[in-house]
Chains A and B, each alone.
Chain A
């Protein structure tokens, strides 16, 4: 390299950095000392150094450079070896969004837009939502203002990448001297290099969600211990105690099915109670290979140790308890071969006004929350008695209701001043809670047909409210990014759960009442300890807003459904996704486990109710680890409705499935 050239670079660099005076001095100096070489360092022959120096003097904020280097990197990644391609392509997305944000941040709006549009297609499939958000960011101030962008800028993305892919990438970046890309990658990506073969592209869900350093906190939080066991002295237990006696007395009615169920339950609890039985199993394993398989099945699902309630739970009246016990005794055993019956409640003439529907635990009451702030409660038992008029079809019911008398067959609850987004029945069905866009939650009595309490606390619309499995307590979640725990007798919330990065869209209680789960627009599901108000689990994996949650009756698993129609089964203790259940092609509005937890029902905007066999999916996880991903056959049945999106689902205690939805005219 000539000394003149070097001088040029130095001057260029100085000018760029704004040291125009120094640059001028330097130039003058060189003019004076023309000809005399002052280089003592041998950087003439060091190509690396030359390149480095050259890169300094280049126009750094030249917007076209982003486009060029990105497209080079992109074409390189696409042409790389198939085995490593998906790992390298994973790097492209963070690079892409950061290039875009750099361009925006430097004020090159037009270039940023052009850059975004030309490469947007690559990432649309996985990151559509994020792209839609980012697309609107057009000025540096937006970057500051928008939380999503800010968090992206602040945090580093973790990318798991195998050693070889990592080397490939570094080699490429050095070879092509794409310092710009190297800078972005260094600044925003945190590589977790592992040795060995690259993982297959499909099963690695974590790889595609950009949560930045958030992942670390999530991992940290997920270390915490949780106790997902059922409560001591639960009704199920009581059933087992009394079940033997009663089933003896009722043998005449031929309830062999239930008897069997009790037996199996007893067996499983016995295994759990006797700590020694596990040891026994281990001995058996050594001795008896054939029995191992059968044993494994039971031992993979050991009932968790019973836990004490952390909340003071209400006392249940003996009448109620008796009726529940009666229901549990008469419960139909469901499995992949024994399908439930589904009773469908269709709302008609709602004129797109039905926001939510809720079904009481025994299926006799149905509440609908409407966008005109009203709540309507139908007593299905009464409708059934008043003749089958309701079943005759739309016209007949229209006549009977819309007559001049204005006689209604429902109870109208008025009080809210905004669209009602959620309603929930207390377990005995004597109270209804409703949440609304007017930021309040209201408690209604179905006996008195009147508003009892108005709970104010949220600052923004309350998206969801859920009674706890034992009543008295309830949880709500809101656009203000918090979830709150309340008890019926206090108008202030007992706990406020804050931590979600976006709206909290749905909430669900754990069967033992010690935890609640919340699903959010930030695409995560969190589990919170009710007593401490701390977040104890973060479930990452959804690719869009989480709309529905359900907890398995044994308290071990959770299902969550999102906007895209994906349902994920989570293991609460490990915070890992057991399996995504694919099948719906639109929002999953509702999820519900059957009474004994063997089936999961899902209701979706694609006008279907699907049943999923969740016993096979949980049991086969061990086998899966060995055999690889072999099972996609969990969808048992699909029941299409006649153009009725399914808003709500509820398994009654006897395992009859109730579903509700508003008839919508098919788009024509």
Chain B
């Protein structure tokens, strides 16, 4: 730790310019040993002063034990790390004008030591008083709320609950980023005694959303509040869903959320979409018309070309969150016409405003992800039908081949290579009986480039034909990027 060089530096600093290298080499380890010795004693002092941090005067007293002169001026000096060099430390030794020191008013005397007493526990239970650690206090608060649950029957708000409501709403509106609010949210999510507050919270959210359409942080805070409330398993929120849902949907597909350009309303929409989906999942079976109503309003927005792009985005995200079936049945059929509308918005020549172009790209991305996931799911379900040896066999010739057992020959346009295929397949492959992997002919021609550009892939089970018709042109719409969504296993088909 102490090197020869440091000894030399120290020697120079005290005026010994000629120090033979032997001396410094001999001194270095000894200095280190002595330093460690002193530190060992200093640590003992620290322990006996009931501390866990070593302080300058511990070292001083350790030096004192050894009958050494204590170093002076080492009190509360802090080393600073040099900005460029991580290994270099220095004292931040400021020059102080003597006059300023003399003329400065005397600082207040530090308060004298004193003692306070409180009950840490009473018969093994920690009372919730400010002197005790807050962690325990929270659990005690919970306990008190639990008692108030009895009062809920009479719909009388206890003082504590009132206080709770006031505080939470205040934080939501003013300091939504604070840790306090975050704690409040987690308490909303788990506390059992909040039921009496639900109507107040729902009406609060509804009102404030209308008032604060241009205030992004508040909107986000309100959505988080709603989500926490919806997640609380102890709260019966069902009767108030019809009040709460419109507020949530507003946050998803409203024309403007937030005032400034910097407000990331896309995030808010994503967040709201997930809230919406989890709500529908949880209460869908209780209110059978909940899901249809939600989807209707989303679809309505999606299909209305007069709505703005953020609104479309919200609607798409909402539907994606609600499940892939929703996408397959509602989005994909309308994908073609919609893309015709969207694509011009994405090119700089047609759409001069950058913000809008950005929006269009985001919508495009959302659509792509939605479609891709659909595709992925479809391929996954048919995965079992593709037995592992297939992929290796396809590569035997180093050529691209494709399996096909076409029952519905109508959709396939070249059958010429069927006999050679069977030869290649030879012994081990293809128990592909009922499902047909049908790949458009282009790729099957040998010596084709590795990744077929215009691959249109089609998986079909007889029942889903109509739906899968919409999967069919996905590659036309999105091109190669769709390949990302094909599961690896299936992808090997194309290689």
Contacts and interface: CB of A to CB of B under 8 A. Distances in A.
Nearest to B136: A640
Q: Which of B29, B32, B37, B52 has the most chain A CB atoms inside 10 A of its CB?
A: B29
A402 interface: yes
Interface stretch (A152-160, A272-280, A320-328, A363-371): A363-371
Contact of A640 (B51, B55, B111, B133): B133
A126 to B, nearest CB: 19
A387 to B, nearest CB: 13
The 9 residue pairs across chains A and B that have the minimum distance between CB atoms: A339-B124, A138-B29, A136-B36, A342-B120, A344-B120, A349-B111, A355-B49, A640-B133, A342-B121
B116 A390 contact: yes
A587 B52 CA distance: 8
Contact of B47 (A137, A460, A545): A545
A609 interface: yes
A437 B58 CA distance: 11
Contacts of A339: 121, 123-125
Contact of A371 (B47, B57, B114, B118): B57
A346 B49 contact: no
A348 B114 CA distance: 5
A659 B120 contact: yes
B133 A641 contact: yes
Interface string B88-124: 0000000000000000000001111111111111111
A639 B55 CA distance: 28
A366 B113 CA distance: 13
B40 interface: yes
A341 interface: yes
A343 interface: yes
A214 interface: no
A645 interface: yes
B119 A342 contact: yes
Contacts of A641: 120, 132-133
A197 interface: no
A29 B17 CA distance: 56
B445 to A, nearest CB: 56
A624 B64 CA distance: 50
A24 B6 CA distance: 47
A355 B57 CA distance: 13
Contact of A139 (B33, B52, B113, B126): B33
B131 to A, nearest CB: 6
A589 B110 CA distance: 27
Contacts of A521: 44
Nearest to B50: A647
A13 interface: no
A380 interface: yes
B52 A401 contact: no
B65 interface: yes
Given A503-B44, A563-B47, A647-B50, A346 B112 contact: no
Nearest to B126: A639
A135 B36 contact: yes
A368 B47 contact: no
Given A139-B29, A421-B48, A640-B133, A354 B113 contact: yes
Contacts of A479: 44, 65
Interface of A: 109, 132-133, 135-139, 142, 338-356, 366, 368, 370-371, 376, 378, 380, 383-384, 390-391, 393-394, 397-398, 401-402, 408-410, 418-419, 421, 437, 460-461, 463, 479, 503, 505, 521, 545, 547, 563, 586-587, 589, 605, 607, 609, 611, 637, 639-643, 645, 647, 659, 662, 667
B113 A368 contact: yes
Given A136-B36, A346-B131, A398-B111, A341 B47 contact: no
B212 interface: no
Given A351-B110, A642-B132, 7 more contacts: A138-B29, A138-B33, A342-B119, A346-B115, A391-B117, A397-B116, A421-B48
B124 A340 contact: yes
B30 interface: yes
Contacts of B51: 352
29 contacts: A136-B32, A142-B30, A338-B123, A339-B125, A342-B119, A342-B121, A343-B118, A343-B119, A345-B117, A347-B113, A350-B113, A351-B113, A354-B50, A355-B48, A356-B50, A383-B117, A391-B116, A391-B117, A410-B113, A463-B48, A479-B44, A545-B44, A605-B50, A607-B133, A639-B121, A640-B135, A643-B133, A645-B50, A645-B52
Given A393-B130, A547-B47, A346 B116 contact: yes
B117 A346 contact: yes
Nearest to A350: B113
Contacts of B115: 345-348, 366, 368, 378, 380, 383, 390, 410
B33 to A, nearest CB: 5
A158 to B, nearest CB: 26
A507 B33 CA distance: 30
B381 to A, nearest CB: 45
A136 B39 CA distance: 11
A366 B40 CA distance: 31
B65 A460 contact: yes
B134 interface: yes
Contact of A421 (B49, B57, B116): B49
A349 B112 contact: yes
A342 B29 CA distance: 51
Contacts of A589: 50
B114 A349 contact: yes
A139 B30 contact: yes
B128 to A, nearest CB: 12
Contacts of A376: 113
A177 B133 CA distance: 62
B121 A401 contact: no
Contacts of B37: 136
B57 to A, nearest CB: 7
Contacts of A139: 26, 29-30, 33
Contacts of B53: 667
A27 to B, nearest CB: 36
B279 interface: no
Contacts of A605: 50, 52
A339 B120 CA distance: 12
A228 B111 CA distance: 48
A348 B134 CA distance: 18
B161 to A, nearest CB: 26
Q: Which of B65, B119, B131 has the most chain A CB atoms inside 10 A of its CB?
A: B131
Nearest to A342: B120
B426 to A, nearest CB: 47
Contacts of A109: 29
B61 interface: yes
B150 to A, nearest CB: 27
A157 to B, nearest CB: 23
A390 B33 contact: no
Contacts of B36: 132-133, 135-136
Nearest to B36: A136
A566 to B, nearest CB: 15
A138 B114 contact: no
A135 B33 CA distance: 8
B372 to A, nearest CB: 47
B326 to A, nearest CB: 49
A166 B119 CA distance: 58
Contacts of A391: 116-118
Contacts of B135: 640
B55 A341 contact: no
A401 B50 contact: no
Given A589-B50, A659-B120, A401 B133 contact: no
B117 A390 contact: yes
Given A376-B113, A421-B48, A642 B30 contact: no
B134 A642 contact: yes
Given A138-B33, A353-B113, A479-B65, A505 B47 contact: yes
A341 B119 contact: yes
B49 A419 contact: yes
A109 B112 CA distance: 52
